[in-house]
Structure 1
């Protein structure tokens, strides 16, 4: 019986991972089309979206409005790089996803996804740019602490 339960859990995990990858592909495609409404549809109605510069969007509607304007302006004809580094199912309806952005932009993203009505949606998103000087200072501070 335990082996049968493990098999079921693995199948569910594979189905969830496939659905999560599909969600992120839809996110990528909406960005490529410059479609702010389709981009925002990947998010839960109430969601947190924190940009690399600290802007905090708090709903699908706000996300749609802001991205629609950005896609008409500074983000027109840009691309979104979504290199999945990890997908961790925290429960049957919550997942944690880490992605890396383009090599040129050097950024990392953290997503918290929720499964509602059988569909995965992004509940929380945070984009963090790698700051080379900050990384060097942190490494230096860690080496100093390790010497003590």
Structure 2
């Protein structure tokens, strides 16, 4: 989620942006999509049906991917950056609302733990999944809307999750503030 305050991560191993194959594929997949859906049923699904070669996710896979949001939010509420990072792939990309890029679990820990010990102490994330799609049997993209309580502004987040030997993990995360009127 978003980080609040000046200088967070300024002296840490945090990079501005790295376009690896996973990030490039994620950006292409996201740009190619027509719109974010909504769980409230108000929107009309105008997306094309999945290609015949795409596999339909199992109920267990969908539950596991949705459960990632609960797991990271629980780790956030505990102020535990190590637990938070453990639900990410070893080479995960996390980009906060300021554009700060943390590449890999250790960089995520280095970015978040000082914030959890400081400006984000005793905060929690309130977010809900507004769209979830499986691009393949082992790749899912989901969008959430939410904020950090008590001090955050409304944001939309994009997650890319992958299924590997350790189950479903977050491979990429992008957080963006929702602008007024948007």
Query: Which residue of 119, 129, 132 maps to 2:180?
Result: 132
Q: TM-score, normalised by structure 2?
A: 0.64
**Pairs within 5 Å for 1:24-39:** 24-39=69-84
CA distance in 2, matches of 1:108, 1:118: 27
Structure 2 unaligned segments of length 5 or more: list them. 1-54
Query: Is residue 19 of structure 1 aligned with residue 67 of structure 2?
Result: no
- CA 1:42–1:118 in 2, change beyond 3 Å: closer, same or farther? closer
Moved over 4 A (4+): none
| Contact 1:13–1:89 (Cα < 8 Å) also in 2 | no
Tell me the alpha carbon deviations over residues 62-109 of structure 1, each in whole angstroms, 9 at most, x when there is no partner.
Answer: 101211111001110011112011110100100000000139621100
Query: Which residue of 133, 138, 143 maps to 1:93?
Result: 138
Report which structure shows greater RCO (CA 8 Å, sep ≥6): 2
Query: Is residue 111 of structure 1 aligned with residue 159 of structure 2?
Result: yes
Query: Which residue of 84, 94, 97 maps to 1:52?
Result: 97
Query: Is residue 70 of structure 1 aligned with residue 115 of structure 2?
Result: yes
RMSD over aligned CA atoms reads 1.8
Task: Please state how far the C-alpha of 1:118 moved relative to its aligned partner.
Answer: 5.3
Structure 1 unaligned segments of length 5 or more: list them. 1-8, 136-148
| Paired residues, number | 125
Q: TM-score, normalised by structure 1?
A: 0.78
CA distance in 1, matches of 2:166, 2:100: 30
CA distance in 2, matches of 1:93, 1:34: 29
